[in-house]
Structure formats: structure tokens, C-alpha cells
Amino acid sequence: MLKIKRLSETIGKKVYTDSGDLFGVVEEVNLVDNKVDGWRLVVARESSVADSLGGARGIIVPHQFIKAIGDVLIISSNAVPARHDEEDISVEEELA
């Protein structure tokens, strides 16, 4: 049997990446033309992903990166922006 969730029930749910890392919690759902367009997620302070965001409080993840919605949300690891270290950037500039 298909269990249907209300969008209001997803607010405040914990969010994990598909690799099992805690990301944060759902803050808001973005709707466009009565369809889910994206999810505004707040990064948890204890999350290992928080360092890669460079001080940002959270991100907006397009709906296509959501893998599962249940007791928690599972997002694709590809949705999490990767931060480049300053050393990596300077090496890339030298090579160019």
C-alpha cells in the first residue's frame, strides 16, 4: 500500500546523504505550479558537510536529488557542493 505524506510533515525531518552522513533538517519546501521544485535544508552544526559549505547556513536542493522521503530524507551526495581548498585553486591557476 502506498503511504502518502503531507509536505507539512516533512518540515523539521532530519536529512542524511546517501552515504549515511547527517546533513541537517528540512526548513522549507519550494513549490512551483503546485509541484515540488526544491528543498531548503539547514545544515546541522555537527555535520561533516558543514565545513564544505564555507559558513553557509544551508542550501536549496533541487527535488531530483531527493532519493527517499520517510522518517528521514535521503539526498544524493552529488547535491552537496564540494569545497575546493585554497591550495587546490592556486595549483590550478599555476597550471593554466
Domains and CATH numbers, the chain: 7-95 (2.30.30.240)
Over residues 13-31, the pLDDT tens digits come to 999 988 888 889 999 999 9
Residue 95 confidence class, pLDDT cut points 50, 70, 90? low
**What pLDDT sits at residue 57?**
82
Other residues' Cβ atoms within 10 Å of the Cβ of residue 26: 23
Residues 6+ apart with CB under 8 A from 26: 10, 11, 12, 13, 15, 39, 40, 41, 42, 73
Give the predicted TM-score (pTM) of the model: 0.73
For residue 82, pLDDT over 80 is answered with: no
Tell which wins on pLDDT, 48 or 93. 48
The span from the CA of 42 to the CA of 60, in Å, is 9
